[in-house]
Structure 1
Amino acid sequence: MPNFYKRGDIWHYSFTIDGVRHRGSSKTAEKRVAEDIAAKHETRVRRAAVHGEEAVLTFTDAVGMYLDAGRDGRFLAPLLKKFGKRLVSAISGPEIRKAALEIYPGAAPATLNRQVVTPMRAVINHAADAKKAQKLSIKRFKEETKARRPAGSADWLKDFCKAAKKLDMPETAAIARFMFETAARVSEACRLTWDDVNLQLGVAFLTKTKTEPRKVFLTRAMVVDMANIRSMNPTLVFAAANRSTVKKRIDKVIEKAGLPRLTSHELGRHGFATEMIRRNGVDVATTGDHGGWKSRRLLIETYVEGDADREVIDRVFGKKERP
């Protein structure tokens, strides 16, 4: 039976189970309420000691553990309302799918997956990693396959660079090649300074990125393009302050050259992954390493850390240009 004592106006309690002392605050000055809270806590701990944590862990408990670990809680409010008092061990995959349809009637499969299936699985499996629940597999809702978006290619880049140089826009040719051959985001390319580049070694360092700083390898063509624009700006490699400037320059070259229109992401980061994986058969892990993908979502949910070698970049992007 719990023992009670006061700290200020608030009742605190303690009890011992299997030689382990447990303490808690009732957060109330009402003795009867405090007794009820303490009794429930003692019952829960005693049940866990006999039957294991799985027998007492509620979804609310699991969410608390998840948020305490600094995880994303954006979509958890309606899930807490639906499952809060339920034991995690009693929640099933089919029940979660049914709940998704009830919580978001008429929502697209992608929404149901993003706002119900994924967070439910993340919370429960986080508790499982802490040995307080069993792993749960939830069947995702089938999503419609999106039309494949256009991507940059070696041939497109060749025509683009040729047109840009004819227009006396060598810095635009250079930044397009840089994004395509390194998977750099346009914002990362804009921030690149000459202090971040070593043309002799053929490397550049992206120090301010969306994920983590990384080293990228420069092909011979990229080194030549950079050397030719070295005098255009003493600080910024591509003499572009922001993505808006780059977009205007790229759109101008595309229009003059009569090329298929591509965004900076399509010609750059998306083009890099397409060139590596689909057109040259480079494995996903190597592509993710060189392109700086941290999550597994875009590249078959794989990311490999390590100091990659430059051979694959020269093999894919350093080919001699066709005449």
Structure 2
Amino acid sequence: MKAITISEFGSAEVLQLSEVPTVSATNDEVLIEVKASGINRSDVLQRQGKYAAPNNTTNQIPGLEVAGVVVACGPNVTQWKKGDRVCALLPGGGYAQYAAVKEGQCLPIPAGLNFVEAASLPETVFTVWSNIFERGKLKPKESLLVHGGSSGIGVTAIQIANALDARVIVTVGNQEKAAFCYGLGADLCIDYKTQDFETILKDEGVDVILDMIAGPYFQKNLNILKEDGRLVHINAEGGQHVTMDVWQLMIKRLTVSGSTLRGRDYTYKKRLATEIKTHVWPLIEAGKFKPIVYKVFSYKNAVQAQQCMEESKHIGKIILHWEG
């Protein structure tokens, strides 16, 4: 099969279109003929040698989410059959014509969506549901601040939180991105290049913060959290080492946490998929949440796709297309 492999750690040019052995489905796995693959920031980090794939995964092939058609099932598979249209969360190996994944990490493609749109969903929806609604415990009428509102995670968080009746605040890098986020349902957009989110939010406060920055944002986040507020980290682009006023943590009864999804065990991901099918898929089918695809690249142009990701001008998801 054709796959995009990492020849060595470095810039996007180290990605190569290669012929590799076709994977197969064993035990409780399904084999998916991939029609589209989602591009994520973690793929770039893996290519740079900063985010290794978990043990026993296809380390040289990046890619955490795909959409396609089930072409084979392992002997213990009960949820799926050949011909089913699915999207799936993977530990790696998604930039390829075929991907094998445990059946519990697959979801049916929502009615009305094509493969490109469906491939944009798994990584962001699993991340948002896990961190904002499970870990962050966001409730209706509470306020949510998302740093990076126009990212794939951001546009997903805005729509789901808005549909579930939360007040949504985001930081963005320019007015074009702000306008787009308002269109998705954001209640307030703050341009982090010209405005200080702490100054703007210090009186209002927020209940939950989803943060990808850490570093200089950390103390600012604590300062604007309301009593019993929750801060959840999913990246540390601004620096991983921070200091904290523990007394402030105690007085306000704050909860500070973080997570990564890729290394979580199968039992957890399977449960998460079930909850997403129950709580999020109906929002898509009701038109309250839609995939936001910024640009689609042929699999032959994976280098340009990751360069597009690194430029950070995109709004929504970047997708590789495997047909044609």
TM-score grouping bracket, smaller chain normalisation:
under 0.3
TM-score, length basis structure 1: 0.27
TM-score, length basis structure 2: 0.27
Specify which structure has the higher proportion of helix: 1
Specify which structure has the higher proportion of strand: 2
